[in-house]
Amino acid sequence: MRMPRRALAAAVVALVLPLSACGSGGDDSGSTDASGKVEGDITFQTWNLRANFKPYFEGLVADFEKKYPGTNVKWVDQPAEGYADKISADAAGGTLPDVVNVSPDLVAPLAKAGLALDLDKAAAKYKEEYLPGAWASHEIPGTEGTYAFPWYLNTGPLFYNKSLFKEAGLDASKPPKTYDELFDNALELADKSDGKVATLANVPTIEDFGRYGVELMNKEGTAFAFNDAKGVQLLSKYKELYDAKALDSQALTATPESSGKKFLTGAVAMNPGSALDLGNFKKQAPNLYKNIGITDQITSTGKVNMYVMGVMVNAQTKQKPAAVAFAHFVTDAQNQMSFAKKVAIFPSTAGSLDDPYFTEEDGTDETRVRIAAAKSLKNAVNYTPVLFSEQMKTELRNSVAKALQGKVSPKEALDNAVKACDRLLQQQG
Amino acid sequence: MASPSSTTAARVRRQLPTSPWLFAAPGLLVVGIFILYPFVSTVVNAFTDRRTLIPGEFVGLANFRELLHDEMFWIGLRNSTLYVLGVVPALVLLPLLLALLVQRNIPGIAFFRSAFYTPVVASIVVVGLIWVWLLDERGLVNSLLETVGVGRIGFLSDQWLLLLSAMTVTVWKGLGYYMIIYLAALANVPRELHEAAAVDGAGAVRRFLTVTVPAVRSTMVLVGALSSVAAFKVFSEVYLMAGPGGGPAGEDTTLVMLVQRTGTGLTGRVGYASAISVVVFVVTVALMLLVLRADRKEDT
């Protein structure tokens, strides 16, 4: 009867193995010392960039290997869909690449788990090369340090459909500049079109609350605060729009992709976007392109929203000098400028936005959008708190939806959302 | 001195206990690594506060206690249960009627058999997107409804219509699969029984109820069991039609969607999501037992 005993032992191992996985854990953030010779093999992971920019990145890697003989960079690219899950799986399995393309909200949990290198310690000498706001975008409230090099920035105007404005009797040459004008125009458009044309396609997100001037978190970064009077005011306005069909009836389940499609088909009159979208309009909706209006993002704070991409160094990399040198190389002024000329993004390096490419008009819409965006980026803000996780976004979205449906009052909805987000924040540790 | 044959026999006898295990080892290894280990791991995690990047500690029944007070869990349980109640009767009955229809040997019937089976082989993502386009506020269905004066219906914006739309997709996609199972069962029903019933004056409905249904009853139980388990674990259809948030205010979230939303990402609550998975497992097993018990009762 030897086998049954062995089988029993195997079963016990199977039961114990997962338990052991729960008991151990890594707070091994490793050393932050990145001095030493730049050499060795490293892996660099980007976020859905291979399809359109393969030659650029191959050239970038070749330039780095030429500059630092003895280095070998393996470039891998992951699709946009499920990127956070891929990083989660790699981080949990100990296979996180040495240098990783991240956004601020992805950096926060990695830094808390000791997997992101503190660049204030390991690469402080490079700090001055970047715009102060961009460098600060990878700081995490409640944690000392900065956990990724800022890479490219993006922001964009608000596009509107001039013909829909005209049909509603509105002056298409005077798009809304303030929230009050936006809400008034939206109600008028809905009224004139018998509710067939909505002005907005998305429910307000945390970024919208920030742009409206709502205080999102307390100063210590330990609790959310977007349920203040201003937050309630914004949500009440959206409720009014939703009831009047000035906010699209499918907004409660909309995604950025679905609302973009609605704008393309003329179902909604306004949509935020970037210079990149102009090309899409030209190709996919020529009629819309002929009637496209471009105006600035609406904000009560005087600061537009910006999206920041970063390049993080794995704190547990065996090749720290090479990984830090490569992350800096990817994000230095020269390479960011060269990347910005290939696609509608903006460098986060100090002084780059003063380049004639971002300041001189050539009469085209693309350049006009680019110049306006570059100008606004100088004091732009990433309104989304880095600690605002996917689960928190869902909580806010669901609470906002309940308020719009009239199931709870705007005040009650935001109180509930803040309570749920605070609970999740505490659980994050 | 032992003869060669007796030595071989002794060797075979000696090796006998291990040989079957060696033959089964590859299969056991696959089952162990990809089924048993994840299952045990999920059950263990359900009693911890493990997060994606933070190893958990044992918290006893805390996750299950939290479930009782989690509004979203009850919404998920409600929707998954409604899905079973809505989808299973349709998937037990409609494919049987379809099988009876295509069972006849009439010219061109092979085309219809293939046509009914096509949704089964189509990707659920493609199917889901097509239905989203059809049911959109400006989609084909709403345009037709507006043309005939009914007006536009919010198939994808009303929580109940959204759930109903997702159920429709599940039924539409599953019809062909269960139809094939019924076709195999119907092939074993003796033609004489139908003929005898017809001679006795039984009409088509009577013959269906008294001959066809009893003859394929065990297949109906099998279809009921398979479809109820699949319906309780529904994810793709609702995810595609209601969006990652689970419809307006998350009101169309199903339990498996909740597992995905809670347990994935860098801040995922693996322990809590595992607790929901354990509940899904227990309910699924209970459903199977219920269906099989009902079958046994009928037999006695």
From A15, A25, A394, residue closest to B54, measured CB to CB: A25
pLDDT tens string B53-106: 888 899 999 999 999 999 999 999 999 999 999 999 999 999 999 999 888 878
Nearest Cα residue to A393 out of A167, A226, A222: A226
Rounded percentage of chain A residues whose pLDDT exceeds 70: 92
Confidence class of residue A45 from pLDDT cuts 50, 70 and 90?
Answer: very high
* All structural domains of chain B: 4-45 (no CATH), 62-299 (1.10.3720.10)
Window from A109-118, A395-404, B194-203 with minimum mean pLDDT: B194-203
Contacts of B125 in chain A (CB under 8 A): none
| Length of chain B as a residue count | 300
Q: What is the mean pLDDT of chain A?
A: 88
Residue A12 has pLDDT above 80, yes or no: no
Residue A53 is which amino acid?
F
Contacts of B264 in chain A (CB under 8 A): 84-85, 88
Interchain pair A401, B250: CB under 8 A: yes
Q: What is the reported pLDDT for A2?
A: 40
CA A51 to chain centroid: 20
Residue A1 has pLDDT above 50, yes or no: no
pLDDT tens string B1-49: 455 556 666 666 666 678 888 899 999 999 999 999 999 999 999 999 9
Q: What is the reported pLDDT for A36?
A: 79
Q: What is the reported pLDDT for A361?
A: 86
Contact assessment for residue A291 and residue A269, using Cβ atoms and an 8 Å cutoff: no
Contact assessment for residue A236 and residue A420, using Cβ atoms and an 8 Å cutoff: no
pTM, two decimals, is 0.83
Question: A37 CB near a chain B CB, below 8 Å?
Answer: no
What does the domain layout of chain A look like in residue ranges? Answer: 40-155+306-377, 158-304+384-428
Question: A386 CB near a chain B CB, below 8 Å?
Answer: no
Residue A4 has pLDDT above 50, yes or no: no
| Length of chain A as a residue count | 429
Q: Measured between alpha carbons, how far is A413 from B248 in angstroms, rounded to an integer?
A: 14
Q: What is the reported pLDDT for B15?
A: 61
The pLDDT of A352-381, averaged and rounded, is: 87
Burial-class residue B269 by CB neighbours within 10 Å (0-12, 13-18, 19+): buried
Q: Which residues contact A18 (CB under 8 A, 6 or more apart)?
A: B37, B40, B41, B44, B45
Pick the residue from chain A with its C-alpha nearest to B70: A420
Q: Which CATH number fits domain A40-155+306-377: 3.40.190.10, 3.20.20.70, 3.30.2130.30, 3.40.50.1110?
A: 3.40.190.10
Residue A301 has pLDDT above 80, yes or no: yes
| More confident: A362 or A73 | A73
End-to-end CA distance of chain B: 62
Question: A255 CB near a chain B CB, below 8 Å?
Answer: yes
Give the mutation candidate from A257, A388, A398 for the B interface (greatest B CB count, under 10 A).
Answer: A398
Helix H, strand E, coil C: the string for chain A is CHHHHHHHHHHHHHHHHHHHHHHCCCCCCCCCCCCCCCCEEEEEEEECCHHHHHHHHHHHHHHHHHHCCCEEEEEEEECCCCHHHHHHHHHHHCCCCCEEEECHHHHHHHHHCCCECCHHHHCHHHHHHECHHHHHCCECCCCCCECCEEEEEECCCEEEEHHHHHHCCCCCCCCCCCHHHHHHHHHHHHHHCCCCCECECCCCCHHHHHHCCCCCECCCCCCECCCCHHHHHHHHHHHHHHHCCCECCCHHHCCHHHHHHHHHCCCECEEECCHHHHHHHHHHCHHHHHCEEEECCCCCCCCCECEEEEEEEECCCCCHHHHHHHHHHHHCHHHHHHHHCCCCCECCECCHHHCHHHCCCCCCHHHHHHHHHHHHHCCCECCCCCCCCHHHHHHHHHHHHHHHHCCCCHHHHHHHHHHHHHHHHHHHC
Q: Measured between alpha carbons, how far is A426 from A275 in angstroms, rounded to an integer?
A: 39
Question: A22 CB near a chain B CB, below 8 Å?
Answer: yes
Q: What is the reported pLDDT for A312?
A: 97
Residue A346 has pLDDT above 80, yes or no: yes
Question: A389 CB near a chain B CB, below 8 Å?
Answer: yes
Residue A165 has pLDDT above 80, yes or no: yes
| Ramachandran class of A236: left when φ > 0, alpha when ψ lies in -120 to 50, beta otherwise | alpha
Residue A21 has pLDDT above 70, yes or no: no
| More confident: A30 or B280 | B280
Contacts of B274 in chain A (CB under 8 A): none
| Biggest distance spanned by C-alpha atoms of chain B | 100
Residues 55-84 of A with CB under 8 A from B: 84
Q: Which CATH number fits domain A158-304+384-428: 3.90.550.10, 3.40.190.10, 1.10.287.1080, 3.40.50.920?
A: 3.40.190.10
Q: What is the reported pLDDT for A377?
A: 87
Interchain pair A394, B261: CB under 8 A: yes
Rounded percentage of chain A residues whose pLDDT exceeds 90: 63
pLDDT tens string B93-140: 999 999 998 888 788 888 888 888 999 999 999 999 999 999 988 889
SS3 label, residue B189? coil
Q: Measured between alpha carbons, how far is A174 from A162 in angstroms, rounded to an integer?
A: 10
Residue A146 has pLDDT above 50, yes or no: yes
The highest-confidence range among A16-30, A409-423, B90-104, by mean pLDDT, is A409-423
Interchain pair B48, A113: CB under 8 A: no
| More confident: A10 or A374 | A374
Q: Would you state the structure tokens that stand for residue A175, as one six-digit string? A: 């798009």
Contact assessment for residue A429 and residue A112, using Cβ atoms and an 8 Å cutoff: yes
Q: What is the reported pLDDT for A418?
A: 97
Q: Measured between alpha carbons, how far is A393 from A412 in angstroms, rounded to an integer?
A: 17
Q: What is the reported pLDDT for B16?
A: 64
Contact assessment for residue B160 and residue B248, using Cβ atoms and an 8 Å cutoff: no
Identical fold between A40-155+306-377 and A158-304+384-428: yes
Window from A20-24, A303-307, B266-270 with minimum mean pLDDT: A20-24
pLDDT tens string A257-278: 888 889 998 889 999 987 778 8
Contacts of A427 in chain B (CB under 8 A): 49, 51, 269
Q: What is the reported pLDDT for B10?
A: 66
From B44, B249, B265, residue closest to A19, measured CB to CB: B44
Q: What is the reported pLDDT for B286?
A: 92
CA B161 vs CA A233, B231, B243, B285: distances in Å: 31, 17, 14, 29
Tell me the nearest-neighbour CA distance from B249 into chain A, angstroms: 4
Interchain pair B266, A106: CB under 8 A: yes
The pLDDT of B187-194, averaged and rounded, is: 85
Give the mutation candidate from A83, A250, A262 for the B interface (greatest B CB count, under 10 A).
Answer: A250
Contact assessment for residue A367 and residue A292, using Cβ atoms and an 8 Å cutoff: no
A348-369 in b/e form (b: 16+ CB < 10 A) is: bbeebbeeebbeeeeeeeeebb
Q: Measured between alpha carbons, how far is B169 from B152 in angstroms, rounded to an integer?
A: 20
